Amino acid sequence: MQHQLRVDGERIAHRLIHYITDRRENEARWVGALESTTVPLAFTWGMLDPISGAHMATRIAERLPHATLLTLDEVAHWPMLEAPRAVERAILGTQP
């Protein structure tokens, strides 16, 4: 059954993609919270992500200049899977 769900995922994609509407509806609230927080922010970003890659890293740097931003040039959508050691170093604050 589990395998069949993965194979037929495209049949329910329209039910999963509501995050686009969520982003549009909540953008001001979410961005405002990030811009006004006093909590230290850090991002580790895969620059080859076809959806939210380099252009989003640029936007983060513009809108959140106080945040740490580690860009991974050869990484796409899953930095924690594609570059686990780099992500680990970023989390632990031990970047070379």
Biggest alpha carbon–alpha carbon distance for the chain: 47
The three-class DSSP label of residue 7 is: helix
| CATH number for the domain harbouring residue 17 | 3.40.50.1820
pLDDT in tens, 59-76: 999 999 999 999 999 999
Non-local (6+) Cβ contacts of 27 within 8 A are none
| Number of domains the chain is built from | 1
Phi, psi for 18 (deg, rounded to 5): -60, -15
Task: Give residue 15's pLDDT.
Answer: 74
Q: Is 87 helix (H, G, I), strand (E, B) or coil?
A: helix
Q: Which domain holds residue 84?
A: 2-92
**pLDDT reading at 29 higher than 50:** yes
Please tell me the predicted confidence (pLDDT) of residue 1. Answer: 47
pLDDT of res. 23: 86
